[in-house]
Amino acid sequence: MATAEADAELIRDAARRSGALVFVGHLYLHHPAFQKLLKILPTLGRVRYMLNESANNLPRSDTSVLWDWLPHDLAMARVIFGTDASSAESWSLSRSAHPLAALSRFTFNDASVVCATSWLSSYRQKRLMVVCDSGTLVFDDRAERKLALHDAKANVSFPAYSHELPLTRELERFANAVRTGKHDSSQLEAGVSVVRMIAAAERSIERGGAPIEVVPP
């Protein structure tokens, strides 16, 4: 088993044995605009595909771009589809030991989740587009109005959402878990699952973009 996957499972198992509270920092899950997206989504029919675009010009030397951006993309995809990806394909877009830019495709049920990630872009971006049978939702964290709904007739509306900071919401949820002592076991499983999906994408890059099965934990 790859080191990242083994480490994640060791942490999960240790937390289970000790009863320690674990809270995974998937920040965008607490974003009010994303929460509003989740409420609207069931009204738009089947999700056909998702496109994530994440970019900045802040490369790191200790890891690859996959581990920087994909935790956010895949955490959101897991919530939207209610399951993990079954396979991953990924291609490096840079000539380096650790990819500085990559294109990845994950299969969730019968839909594709495509993630374009980059540390080489002077244009900063964090955008999620969810294409459904009867409309498209766009969550753009760099925009002033972060959530847009495009209906089947190409009309655009901007659903209202709370402007509370996502980090504030996340910290409140963590503090409440500490106060009540209530452990959410799904936090551990979410963390391990996201690690497994990213590790599969890394192996795909090593094999020239070959599809890699994501083995359930």
Give the separation between CA 157 and CA 150, rounded to whole angstroms.
7
* Domain-embedded: residue 126: yes
In the numeric block, which tokens belong to residue 153?
């007739």
Identify whether 173 is part of a domain: yes
- pTM for this one? 0.90
Tokens of 95: 């000539």
Q: What's the number of domains the chain is made of?
A: 1
Question: Is residue 214, in this structure, part of any structural domain at all?
Answer: no
CATH of the domain at 182: 3.30.360.10
Which two three-digit tokens encode residue 39? 């409420």
The dihedral through the CA atoms of 78, 80, 81, 82 has a sign that is positive
Contact 137, 69 (CB under 8 A): no
Beta bridge partners of 156: 150
- Cite the DSSP H helix spans in the chain: 3-18, 32-40, 65-81, 166-180, 185-206
148 — pLDDT class (breaks 50, 70, 90) = very high
Dump pLDDT digits (tens) for 174-207. 898 888 877 777 777 888 899 999 999 999 999 9
Residue 213: inside a domain, yes or no?
no
- For residues 35 and 169, the answer to whether their CB atoms sit within 8 Å is no
Scan for tokens 């599809």, then name that residue: 211
Q: Looking at the chain, how many residues does it have?
A: 217
> Is 68 among the domain residues?
yes
The pLDDT tens digits for 21-45 are 777 888 999 999 999 999 999 999 9
> Reduced to 3 states, what is the DSSP secondary structure of residue 80?
helix
Rounded CA separation 176/179 (Å): 5
Domain assignment of residue 217, yes or no: no
Percent of the chain residues past pLDDT 70, beyond the cut: 98
In a domain, 216, yes or no: no
Q: In sequence order, which residues have a C-beta less than 8 Å from that of residue 149 and are 6 or more positions away?
A: 40, 135, 136, 137, 138, 156, 157, 158, 159
Positive or negative, the CA dihedral 147, 89, 81, 172 is: negative
Q: What is the DSSP string of 87-118?
A: EEEEEE-SSSSS-SEEEEEEEETTEEEEEEEE
**SS3 at position 28:** helix
**Is residue 48 a part of any domain in this protein?**
yes
Statement: residue 1 has pLDDT above 70:
no
Range of the domain at 136: 3-206
